[in-house]
Structure 1
Amino acid sequence: MFDLDRWQEIFQTINKNKLRTILSGFTIAFAILLFTLLFGIGNGLKHTFEKQFAGDSQNSVYINSGSTTKPYKGLQSGRQIQFRNEDAKFINEKFSKEIQFFSPNIQRYNVQAIYKGEQNRYTVRGVYPDYQPLESAEIIEGRFLSYIDIKRRAKVIAIGRLVEEDLFGAKGALGKNINLDGISYKVVGVFSDPGGDNDERYIYAPFTTIQGMYKPNDEVDYFGLTFNSKLSVDEALAFSNLLTVVLKEKHNVDPRDQSAIRVRNYAEGTKNVQQFMTVLNVIILFIGIGTLVAGIIGISNIMVYIVKERTKEIGIRKALGATPKSIIGMILMESIFITALAGYTGLMVGVFALRALGDSLEKYFILNPSVETYVVVGATIVLIIAGTIAGYIPAKRAASIKPIVALNDE
C-alpha cells in the first residue's frame, strides 16, 4: 500500500492519461456533489418545518370558546360560551391521567408598559407556572412565575427578551418595576422563546393577579395544557376529541357546532409533518440512491475501458515477470485513489455550495440547508467500494490473459 515505487508509477500513469483521469474523476465528483445538494436541500425543508413548530410544545393543546351557531336543548344559537374557574377544576379531575401541565389563561392586549422615560404596548398574559413548558419559554435571567406568586396574587412579571431591550436597553430589567396600566409590577424573570420576536414581546403575570383585576366573575379566556408524553399521536388525538365532546356536553353545545368550543391539538400538526417528512425522506433517499447507482455505473464503464485500454501494457508487464496479483493491485490502487480524491472534492464543493446558498434559499422555504457528515462520507465510501469492485473484475480478467494474447490485442 505504501510502496513508493508503485505510487510513482500510479502518478505517472495518471499524468500520461489526464483526460481519462479527469473524466472518471468528474463522474464520481458529480455524483457525490448531487447527492450532497439533494440531502442538504431535504434537510433545509426539515428545518423549515421544525421552525414552524418551535414556538410551542409539540404536545400542546389549547381550548378556546366562542359563540354557538346551532340551537341545542331549547337554547338559541348565538350564545356566548364563557369558561370559568370551575371548568379548570372539571378538566383536571376528568383527565388527570392524560394531562401533564395545565394552565388557565387571561390575555390583555395593548397594555401600556412604562419604565421611566421609555414606554410601549404589549400583550399581558395571566397564567400559571405550568404555562412555561407550553410555550417552550427559556428563562435567561431570574425565574418564571411560581405557585407562591399565584397564592399571594403577587404583582410580579416575567418579560420577554425584546421587552427588556425595548424598555431597559443594556441596563437589565431584573428586580426593577414596570408600570402596567397604572399598576407597578416587579420583574422577576426574563425569557427567550424559540418562536421568534413576537413570542419574546409577551409579559407573563400570575393568573390570580390578572383575574382579580380584570375578571371579577372568575372568568377565563382560554386553557392551555400538555398531554402526557407517553401518549402516541393517535392516543393524543383521541384524548383531545374526547375533551371536546365532554366540554360541549357540559356547556350544552350541539356536538356538530364547530365554533362554540374549539380544541387545537398540536399532535395533529405533528402527525401531518411526520407523514410529510417520511414521504420527503423516501423521495430524497430514492433520488440519492439513483444518483449513486448512476455514479457506480459510470465508474464501472470507465474502469472497463481503462483496463481494456491497458491490455497491451498488462501483457508487457506479465512478459517482464509481473504477477497477476501485482497487476490487479496496481489497477485497484489507482481506482481507489481517483475515486477517493474525486469523491472528497465533490463533497467539499457540495458543502461549500450549501453554505454559500444557505440564506438565499429561505425565500423558497429552505432553511439552513446542510448535510450530516456521516451521510456523504458513507456515500463516498460506497462509491470507493464500487470503484474497487468495478476495477477488480476487469483487472482480474486482464491479468489472467497470456502475455502473447495481450500483446496482440487491438
Structure 2
Amino acid sequence: MFDIDHWREIFQSINKNKLRTILSGFTIAFAIMLFTILFGIGNGLRNTFQSQFAGDSMYSIYLWASKTTKPYKGLQSGRPIQLRNDDIDFIIDNYDSKLSGITPKIDKRLQAVYKGEQDTYQVTAVYPDVQKMEQAEIESGRFISLLDLQQRNKVVSIGRLVEQDLFGQLSALGKNITIDGISYKVIGTFSDPGGSNDERIIYAPFTTIQRLYGNTDELGSVTLSYNPNLNVNQAISFSNNLTKALKEKHGVAPSDQGAIRLFNMAEVNRDTSNFMLVLNLIILFIGIGTLIAGIIGISNIMVYIVRERTKELGIRKALGATPRSIISMIMMESILITAIAGYVGLLIGTGVLKSLGTSLEQYFITNPSVNTGVVIGATIILIIAGTIAGYLPAKRAARIKPIDALNDN
C-alpha cells in the first residue's frame, strides 16, 4: 500500500486519463455537495425553530385571564375574570407534584433614571422561579430572593443592556436607580439567551410592585413550569386539567375559550418534534437517494475504466504483475479519486451554505450548517462503494489471460 512505485503508477494512470478522472470525481463531488447542502438546510430549519423559543424554558406554561365569551350559571358573557394571589395558592395546593416552578407576573412600562441617564423599560414583578424559567444567567450580584418577597424590599435585578444603557462602563451593582419616581437598589445583573429584548427587562419582587401599584391581591398573569419527568402527553393533560379547574373556580363555562387562556410549551414541543421528524425523514430520503445515485455513477464509471484498460492490464500481467497487484492498483485509484472528490464536494457544499448565510433567513432557515461527521460518513460510504465497484471488475480483469487481453478490441 505504501510502495512508492505502486503509487507512481496510480498517479501516472490518473494523469494519462484526465477526462475519465474528472468525470469520476465530478459524480462523487456533486453527490457529496448536494448531500451537504440538503442537511445544512435541514439544520437551518431546526435552528429557526429553536431560536423562536430561546430564553424560555421548554417546560413553561403561560396562563392569563380575559373576559368571558359565554353566559354561565346566570352570569352574563363579557364578565372580566381577574387572577388573584389565591389562584397561585390554588395551583400549588392542587398540582404541586406536577410543578417545578411558578411565578405570578405584573408587567409595566416605566421610566428608569440613573443620574443623567434615563430610558423606559419593561419592569416585571416576579417570584425567584422566573430566573430558571427564563434561563437568565447572573452576570453579577444575585437575583430576586424569597426574603425580598417577604420583606417587600425595593430591589431590582436588571438586564445586561439596561446596565449598559444607564451605567455605561460602570457596574450597576449596589447602586440606586429611580423607577417611576421610586428608588430601588440594584442587587444583580443578568444576561438572557432570548436576546436584546429580554436583556432590557428589570425584575422586581412581586410583593413590592403589588403593594406600590394598587395595594391589591390582583396579578397580571402566571407563568409556571411543569415537572420535567412528565412526558409531553402528561404535560398537556396537566394543563387541560388546570384550565378546567380554574374555569370552575372562577365560574366560567367549560366551553368558554376566552376567559381563561393557557399556552403550553409541551404542545409546541410535540408539534415541532413531529415536524422535524418528517423533515429529517424527507432530507434523509433525498440524501440517501443522492448517495445511491453517486454509488451507481461511480460503479458504472469503474466498470468502464476496467474495460477500457483491459489491454493495459494484459500487458502488466505479461510483464509479471500478479492479480493481487492489479486489483490493488485499481482499488487504490478508486479510493483516491473518491476521497479527494468527496472532500472537494464537502468544501463546495459548506462554501455554498456559508455564502447563502443570512440570505436564507427570509425562508426561515437560520445559520444553515452541517455536522462534518455526517458528511465524512457519507464520503466513507461512497469510498466503500467505490472500492467495491472497483474490486469486482478488477478481479475479473485480473483473471483474464494476457493473450486474450491483448487481442481484446
- TM-score, structure 1 length as denominator? 0.98
Check if 1:270 corresponds to 2:260: no
State the partner residue of 2:21: 21
Equivalent residue number for residue 203 of structure 1: 202
Q: What is residue 82 of structure 1 aligned with on the other side?
A: 82
What pairs with 1:129-148 in structure 2 (closer than 5 Å)? 129-148=128-147
Matched ranges for 1:40-59 at <5 A: 40-59=40-59
3-state SS in 2 of match to 1:97 = helix
Structure 2 Cα separation of the partners of residues 94 and 209 of structure 1: 26
C-alpha distance in structure 2 between counterparts of 1:351 and 1:94, whole Å? 53
Secondary structure at 2:96 match in 1: coil
For the residues of structure 2 that align with 1:334 and 1:35, how far apart are their CA atoms? 23
Gapped runs of 5+ residues in structure 1? Answer: none
Task: Say yes or no: does 1:347 pair with 2:346.
Answer: yes
Q: CA deviation at 1:361?
A: 1.9
Could you tell me how far 1:69 is from its partner in structure 2? 1.1
Query: Residues 26-51 of structure 1, C-alpha deviation per residue, up to 9 Å, x if partnerless?
Result: 11111111111111111011101100
How many Å apart are 1:356 and its aligned residue?
A: 2.4
1:399 deviates by 0.9
Report how far residue 352 of structure 1 moved.
2.3
Aligned length: 409
1:4 equivalent in structure 2: 4
Query: Who is 1:397 aligned against?
Result: 396
Per the TM alignment, residue 217 of structure 1 is displaced from its structure 2 partner at its CA by: 2.2
CA distance in 1, matches of 2:295, 2:139: 52
Runs of 4+ with deviation above 2 angstroms:
none
Q: What residue ranges of structure 2 are gaps of 5+ in the alignment?
A: none
**Alignment match, 1:377:** 376
* Matched residue type, 2:333: E
Q: What is the SS of the residue equivalent to 1:140?
A: strand
Letter in 2 for 1:47: N
The superposition leaves residues 350-409 of structure 1 with CA deviations (integer Å, 9 ceiling, x where unpaired) of 222222222222222211111111100100100000000000000101111111111111
Stretch moving more, 239-248 or 141-150: 141-150
- For residues 83 and 359 of structure 2, what CA distance do their matches in structure 1 show? 46
Deviations 1:327-365 (A, max 9, x none): 101110111111111111111222222222222222222
Task: Give matches, 1:229-378, under 5 Å.
Answer: 229-378=228-377
Partner of 1:408: 407
Q: 1:6-43: per-residue Cα shift (whole Å, max 9, x none)?
A: 11111111111111111111111111111111111110
Q: Which residue of 2 is the match for residue 99 of structure 1? A: 99
The sequence identity of aligned pairs, in percent, is 67
User: CA-to-partner distance for each residue in 1:51-95, whole Å, 9 max, x for gaps?
Assistant: 001131111011101111111111111111111111111110000
In structure 2, distance between residues paired with 1:229 and 1:215: 36
Pick which of 302-311 and 120-129 moved more. 120-129
Shift of 1:215: 3.4
Secondary structure at the counterpart of residue 96 of structure 1: helix
Distance 2:200 2:258 in 1: 29
Counterpart residue number, 1:188? 187
CA RMSD in angstroms, aligned pairs only: 1.0
Letter in 1 for 2:358: D
Please give the alpha-carbon distance, in whole angstroms, between the structure 2 residues aligned to 1:350 and 1:78: 58
2:40 maps to amino acid? G
Q: TM-score, normalised by structure 2?
A: 0.98
The AA in structure 2 aligned to 1:274 is: S
User: Which amino acid letter does the alignment assign opposite residue 31 of structure 1?
Assistant: A
CA deviation profile, 1:139-184 (whole Å, cap 9, x unmatched): 1121111111111111110111121121111212111111011100
How many angstroms apart in 2 are the aligned matches of 1:215 and 1:265?
Answer: 30
Deviations 1:275-305 (A, max 9, x none): 1100110011011101100100000010000
Q: Secondary structure of the residue that 2:252 maps to in structure 1?
A: coil
